[in-house]
């Protein structure tokens, strides 16, 4: 007989603790949980008493998790998500798919002409109307972290050299180049010296590869930007250059005159549906992956060699 260390009340208190941690404090969790601060505090205290450790610090300095709290949050979140899978997976045995499908999507994937995500979601709705897609746009590092923490079922992002931690379903190809603004007077950026302009930085394999070349490539590190929109904004100012997907640069270029730098390296990779091989697959995920495979195989030869 399986015996659990936690009863039903403990599980509820664990859910409260996870919501407090994800919200960043008791006050923020009040609105999220529709509970009083005193009630929330009681639930968190009960979890702490059951585990025999302090999970968080709260006071004038603000809210923060203790090292024990970080571990408890990670394990409790995974356990609660596993519990949420029980009903949908039992339904699937009877041929009925239900429950959430968490998708993480890289920035501006929708702007690529070969992206079939809207069609895939529409087909999912027709084939499994009780499945609810939950979509969040994230950066490359955020998508990897979300996969590791099992916060997303499938991530849509590029695959890069040495990128072998996950499983990949190829969808379509994307290229990146270094872009700068074209001044009205016809000069490429300040004084026409495009390569001397700082390269906007963001944590990304291709940006790091360009900067790793140092003086040989002629690009120096510029200000850090959080996402493609921020990079494009700085590039459009004319005082910086930035690495952008070509399809996105073409969209932005309709309003702000951008063009690829002479001698810019060209990086090309395949956008994939990415899953964690260490996470048990669900019927919902399997269906969506099969839909993606079907749609992209119709319009691209990318899958021919897969």
pLDDT in tens, 34-80: 788 888 888 888 888 888 888 888 777 678 888 888 888 888 777 77
Beta-sheet pairing, 267-275 with 199-201 = unpaired
Domain that holds residue 13: 8-84
Same domain assignment for residues 64 and 125: no
Same domain assignment for residues 231 and 180: yes
Same domain assignment for residues 250 and 115: yes
Q: What is the pLDDT of residue 90?
A: 63
Same domain assignment for residues 155 and 236: yes
Same domain assignment for residues 73 and 100: no
Same domain assignment for residues 70 and 151: no
Q: How many CA atoms lie within 13 A of 106 on its CB side?
A: 23
- Stretch 215-226: mean pLDDT, rounded? 81
Q: What is the pLDDT of residue 192?
A: 44
Q: Which residues contact 98 (CB under 8 A, 6 or more apart)?
A: 87, 88, 91, 92, 128, 130, 131
Same domain assignment for residues 77 and 119: no
Show the tokens assigned to 118: 């809207």
Q: Which of 62, 84, 106 is the last residue of a domain?
A: 84
Q: What is the pLDDT of residue 176?
A: 95
Same domain assignment for residues 123 and 263: yes
Q: What is the pLDDT of residue 50?
A: 84
Confidence check: pLDDT of 301 > 60: no
Residue 69 lies in a domain: yes
Same domain assignment for residues 106 and 222: yes
C-alpha closest to that of 150 among 89, 55, 79, 98: 79
Q: Which residues contact 169 (CB under 8 A, 6 or more apart)?
A: 272, 273, 274, 275, 289, 292, 293, 306
DSSP assignment of 142-159: HHHHHHHTTS-SEEEEEE
Q: Which of 38, 56, 84 is the last residue of a domain?
A: 84
CATH number of the domain that residue 104 is part of = 3.40.190.290
**What is the residue whose two structure tokens read 């932005």?**
252
Strands (E) across 75-217 are located at 98-106, 130-138, 154-159, 167-181, 199-201
What CA–CA distance (Å, rounded) separates 44 from 2?
A: 26
- C-alpha distances in Å from residue 168, one per residue of 27, 140, 171: 40, 15, 9
Residue 191 lies in a domain: yes
Q: What is the pLDDT of residue 82?
A: 67
The least confident of 202-206, 226-230, 302-306 is 302-306
Same domain assignment for residues 257 and 122: yes
- Stretch 68-93: mean pLDDT, rounded? 72
Q: Which residues contact 294 (CB under 8 A, 6 or more apart)?
A: none
The least confident of 39-48, 147-156, 176-185, 228-237 is 176-185
- Stretch 209-233: mean pLDDT, rounded? 84
CATH number of the domain that residue 59 is part of = 1.10.10.10
Q: Within 106-204, where are the H helices?
A: 117-127, 140-148
pLDDT tens-digit series, residues 253-268: 888 889 998 889 999 9
Show the tokens assigned to 183: 């001044």
The number of folded domains in the chain is: 2
Residue 247 lies in a domain: yes
Show the tokens assigned to 66: 């203790």
CB atoms near residue 55 (< 10 Å): 22
Same domain assignment for residues 100 and 246: yes
Residue 131 lies in a domain: yes
The DSSP H or E segment spanning 92 is helix 86-93
Same domain assignment for residues 177 and 205: yes
**What is the residue whose two structure tokens read 């959080």?**
226
- Mean pLDDT, the chain, rounded, equals 83
Q: Which of 35, 63, 84 is the last residue of a domain?
A: 84
Q: How many CA atoms lie within 13 A of 186 on its CB side?
A: 0
Q: What is the pLDDT of residue 84?
A: 65
Dihedrals phi, psi of 282, to nearest 5 degrees? -115, 160
Dihedrals phi, psi of 185, to nearest 5 degrees? -80, 5
Beta bridge pairs of residue 135:
103
What CA–CA distance (Å, rounded) separates 44 from 305?
A: 52
pLDDT tens-digit series, residues 16-43: 888 888 888 888 888 777 788 888 888 8
């Amino acid at each position: 007989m399986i015996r659990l260390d936690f009863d039903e009340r403990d599980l509820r208190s664990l859910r409260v603790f996870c919501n407090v941690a994800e919200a960043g404090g008791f006050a923020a969790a009040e609105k999220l949980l529709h509970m009083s601060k005193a009630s929330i505090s009681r639930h968190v205290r009960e979890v702490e008493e059951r585990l025999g450790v302090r999970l968080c610090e709260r006071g004038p300095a603000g809210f923060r998790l203790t090292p024990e709290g970080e571990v408890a949050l990670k394990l409790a979140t995974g356990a609660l998500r596993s519990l949420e899978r029980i009903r949908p997976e039992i339904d699937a045995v009877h041929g009925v798919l239900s429950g959430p499908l968490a998708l993480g999507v890289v920035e501006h994937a929708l702007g690529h002409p070969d992206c079939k995500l809207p069609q895939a979601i529409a087909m999912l709705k027709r084939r499994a109307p009780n499945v609810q897609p939950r979509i969040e746009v994230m950066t490359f590092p955020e998508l990897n972290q979300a996969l590791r923490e099992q916060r997303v079922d499938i991530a849509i992002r590029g695959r890069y050299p040495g990128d072998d931690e996950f499983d990949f379903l190829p969808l379509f190809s994307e290229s990146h180049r270094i872009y700068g603004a074209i001044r009205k007077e016809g000069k490429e950026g300040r004084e026409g010296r495009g390569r001397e302009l700082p390269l906007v930085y963001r944590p990304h394999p291709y940006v790091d590869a360009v900067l790793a070349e140092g003086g040989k490539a002629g690009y120096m590190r510029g200000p850090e930007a959080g996402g493609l929109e921020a990079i494009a904004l700085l590039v459009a100012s004319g005082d910086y250059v930035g690495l952008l997907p070509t399809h996105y640069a073409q969209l932005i270029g309709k309003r702000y005159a951008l063009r690829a730098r002479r001698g810019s390296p060209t990086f090309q990779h395949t956008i994939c549906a990415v899953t964690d091989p260490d996470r048990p697959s669900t019927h919902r995920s399997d269906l969506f992956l099969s839909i993606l495979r079907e749609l992209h195989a119709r319009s691209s030869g990318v899958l021919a060699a897969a």
